């Protein structure tokens, strides 16, 4: 299916692996030239080379921390007039006890998960409005909608981001600029694999067994974790020419772990 965005340009932050990488790949497959960023140089360069080889589009990697002023400046210097902005980031630590969260952890989570996306939106949205096209998608977390102590550092900051993007979306949609959010549950990402591999080592089990146990404990209706490519495809759809009437929405992708009709 032609998404109608061939030849456009996109910034995808946190794109060296997982959902960010799959979002970058899906947009590149739609013919979008991409600027991808991450902090780790080796993995970012490998992702850029792979995506360029598979799709033939222009891929510009920028090694940067997008939660810092310097990092944002470097990314925007490489792609000053993006038509598309996709934001994701490494998730903060899990928090089994909310009382153990330090102020340093709160400040880090706020910088990465809220303030950085807000400042990126400020930097690009006016240009999108002037040019008459823009798509902004935040890859957040289902914990933003369904509070969970284990993910409170991630959920609380992303809930604020969702509120913010919803308000901005109503202001700019008249210019064919949309802002939406994806709220993933459990996916096979590097972060999840690290967490459950460590748990498997402690329990004398395997990663697959820990995934199965998690699925049963949290009643995931799909009976599996998600594939990051599923998020990538949703990102591409929300960035397409056909998504101009989807405004300020937060789309849950959690395999049926949460129960809600709205």
Q: Using CA atoms, how far apart are residues 91 and 26, in angstroms rounded to an integer? A: 22
Q: Are residues 14 and 99 in the same domain?
A: yes
Contacts of 84 (CB under 8 A, 6+ apart): 5, 8, 9, 10, 11, 27, 32, 134, 135, 136, 137, 239
- Both 99 and 195 in a single domain? no
Q: Are residues 217 and 133 in the same domain?
A: no
239 contacts 135 by C-beta, under 8 angstroms: yes
| pTM score, whole prediction | 0.95
Q: Are residues 173 and 87 in the same domain?
A: yes
Q: What is the pLDDT of residue 260?
A: 85
Within-domain flag for 36:
yes
Statement to judge: residues 110 and 15 lie in one domain: yes
Same domain assignment for residues 176 and 246 = yes
The reply to whether 183 falls in a domain is yes
196 and 87 in a common domain: no
d(CA 223, CA 155): 23
In a domain, 156, yes or no: yes
| Residue 88 tokens, joined | 């994701």
Evaluate whether residue 173 is within a structural domain: yes
pLDDT at 89: 77
Residue 261 domain flag:
no
Same domain for 135 and 193, yes or no, is: no
Q: Which domain holds residue 14?
A: 9-187+229-253
List average pLDDT for each run of 10 residues in the chain, which is 262 residues long: 96 96 98 97 97 98 94 97 92 87 94 94 98 97 92 93 97 98 94 92 96 95 97 98 97 94 82
Determine, yes or no, domain membership for 4. no
Same domain, 21 and 126: yes
pLDDT at 176: 98
pLDDT at 132: 98
- For 197-237, give the DSSP string: HHHHHHHT--HHHHHHHHHHHTT-TTSSPBPHHHHHHHHHH
Q: Which residue has the tokens 């780790």?
A: 40
Quick one: 242 and 206 in the same domain? no
- Specify if 102 maps to a domain: yes
pLDDT, residue 163, reads: 96
Q: Are residues 52 and 166 in the same domain?
A: yes
Task: Give the integer Cα–Cα distance in Å for 126 and 116.
Answer: 17
| Total domains, the chain | 2
Task: Identify whether residues 193 and 162 lie together within a single domain.
Answer: no
Q: Does a structural domain hold residue 196?
A: yes
Task: Tell me the CATH number at 49.
Answer: 3.40.50.720
Predicted pLDDT of residue 92: 83
């Amino acid at each position: 299916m032609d998404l109608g965005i061939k030849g456009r340009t996109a910034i995808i932050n946190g794109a060296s692996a997982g959902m960010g990488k799959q979002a970058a790949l899906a947009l590149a497959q739609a013919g979008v030239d991409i600027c991808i960023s991450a902090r780790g140089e080796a993995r970012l360069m490998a992702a850029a080379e792979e995506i360029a080889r598979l799709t033939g589009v222009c891929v510009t990697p920028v090694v940067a921390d997008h939660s810092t002023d310097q990092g944002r400046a470097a990314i925007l210097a490489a792609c000053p007039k993006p038509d598309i902005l996709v934001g994701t980031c490494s998730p903060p630590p899990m928090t089994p006890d909310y009382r153990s969260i330090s102020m340093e952890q709160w400040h880090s989570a706020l910088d990465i998960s809220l303030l950085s996306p807000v400042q990126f939106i400020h930097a690009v949205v006016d240009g999108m409005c002037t040019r008459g096209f823009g798509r902004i998608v935040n890859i957040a977390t289902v914990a933003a909608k369904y509070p969970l102590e284990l993910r409170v550092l991630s959920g609380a900051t992303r809930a604020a981001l969702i509120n913010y993007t919803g308000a901005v979306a109503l202001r700019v949609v008249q210019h064919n600029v949309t802002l939406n959010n994806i709220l993933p549950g459990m996916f096979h990402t590097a972060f999840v694999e690290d967490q459950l591999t460590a748990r498997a080592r402690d329990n004398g089990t395997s990663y697959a067994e820990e995934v199965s146990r998690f699925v049963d404990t949290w009643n995931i209706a799909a009976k599996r974790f998600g594939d990051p490519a599923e998020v990538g495809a949703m990102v591409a759809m929300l960035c397409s020419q056909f998504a101009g009437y989807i405004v300020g929405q937060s789309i849950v992708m959690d395999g049926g772990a949460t129960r809600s009709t709205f």
